[in-house]
Amino acid sequence: MSQIKKSKDEKQQTCASWIIEIIMNFLQLFVCKTLAKRLLSLVLIAAGASNSRVTELTGLCDRSVRALKKAAASRDAQSLLQVGKGGRKGKLEDLEDAIVEEIESGDYRSRQQIVDMVYEKFGIKTSISAVSRLVKKNGVKRLKCGSLPAKADPEKQRVFYDTLLHPLMKQAQNGKIALLFIDASHFVMGCDFLGYIYGKARRFIKTFSGRMRYNVLGALNFATKKVTTVVNDTYITSKEVCALLAKAAFEYAGKPIYMVLDNARYQKCKLVQDCASLYKINLVYIPPYSPNLNLIERLWKFVKSQLRTKYYENFDIFQEKIDSIINSTGTTNKNVVDKLINEKVQLFDELTVINTNTFTNNKSKSNPSEAQFGEGESAA
């Protein structure tokens, strides 16, 4: 009999909870959730329900139920119906500006470091979740760091861009010249391009023991985004550079050609200089340690991002895929590449010093493309 009675009581409790939920949902069509809980609690209190039962059915805490009873006894309708913002004042609320200022002036790489900083500098013990809410509220994000070449000369880069590179970009856009950016990229099969595999644990794939590298020396047309290439699976030397000059001279015959390239020895040797003179090509060397000024670096980054989605076991297929991505830059992928490669160039002369090793650029907030491609050009 006791088991039957117990089962009957459980059914009644379940039914009561279901009815309360329906009434709560109905009340919320007209009033806020907090006020709906109060009104329902008052009805239950008037029906003789205990404090614990009211708490169980409505979700109000015991303290709130006692306060409701007191307000009802004194017929204080204003306190019963008035709903404030609620919540306690956060421990960090008065110090938010100071904490954000400290974050901006330091190098904090994790939320735990910020938690430790708040305790050390402000004497307040807080949690990672509280720090997460604070940084989100104030627009502080964990952003990938950009690279600033140690030997780069920001002033020389600015002068080069303003007096030479940017005017050439304008002429190229107007169709007066052919402006090409030259650089080589080396794609090693089975090294950086391992693809993804579904599973509960990470997979490891054995790399190839032999030399399976596809070298691409490319010349990117700034205006059309078409890429002229010379490829091999051995080494890129001055001979390959001369071969690329010959192809470019034929492709852009009848138009002045300007080639922007870095100071690698095989691109600045006498053989290349003589070849450029023969084909009447103007070689424009960027300042030393300035990969950010050679925009084809961004193209290589794009190509590698496309390759990393799949694993390639066959070297011929690997080569074909690279060629197809490069050939698409002036056709099917031109809209994408146009956003990557334009007049916006990452320069470092307006950086603000944070400390001896870290700098910031507030302009990157308004120029997301610069922020995105300033971070990895030197490693592309």
- Per-residue pLDDT tens digits for 237-288: 999 999 999 999 999 999 999 999 999 999 999 999 999 999 999 999 999 9
Q: Is the pLDDT of residue 178 over 60?
A: yes
Task: Give me the pLDDT at residue 220, please.
Answer: 96
Q: What's the pLDDT band for 4 if we cut at 50, 70, 90?
A: low
Strands 281-285 and 257-261: parallel
Mean pLDDT of the chain: 84
- Per-residue pLDDT tens digits for 285-338: 999 999 999 999 999 999 999 988 888 888 899 999 999 999 999 899 999 999
Closest CA to 338 of 222, 166, 248, 228: 222
Task: Give me the pLDDT at residue 239, please.
Answer: 96
Lowest mean pLDDT among 4-13, 141-150, 252-261, 281-290: 4-13
Q: Does a structural domain hold residue 148?
A: no
DSSP 120: H
Q: Does a structural domain hold residue 147?
A: no
Closest CA to 121 of 141, 137, 100: 100
Closest CA to 294 of 146, 160, 167, 176: 160
Number of structural domains, the chain? Answer: 3
Percent of the chain with pLDDT over 90: 45
Look at the pTM and tell me if it is higher than 0.85: no
* 114 shares its domain with 169: no
Residue 12: give the domain boundaries: 2-81
Q: Does a structural domain hold residue 294?
A: yes
* 245 shares its domain with 292: yes
| CATH code for the domain of 219 | 3.30.420.10
* 318 shares its domain with 191: yes
* 167 shares its domain with 76: no
Instruction: Provide the 3-class DSSP secondary structure of residue 101.
Output: helix
Q: What's the pLDDT band for 379 if we cut at 50, 70, 90?
A: very low
Beta carbons of 236 and 184 less than 8 angstroms apart: yes
CA atoms within 13 A on the CB side of 236: 22
Q: Is the pLDDT of residue 144 over 60?
A: yes
Q: Is the pLDDT of residue 222 over 90?
A: yes
Q: Does a structural domain hold residue 205?
A: yes
* 263 shares its domain with 351: yes
Task: Give me the pLDDT at residue 7, please.
Answer: 59
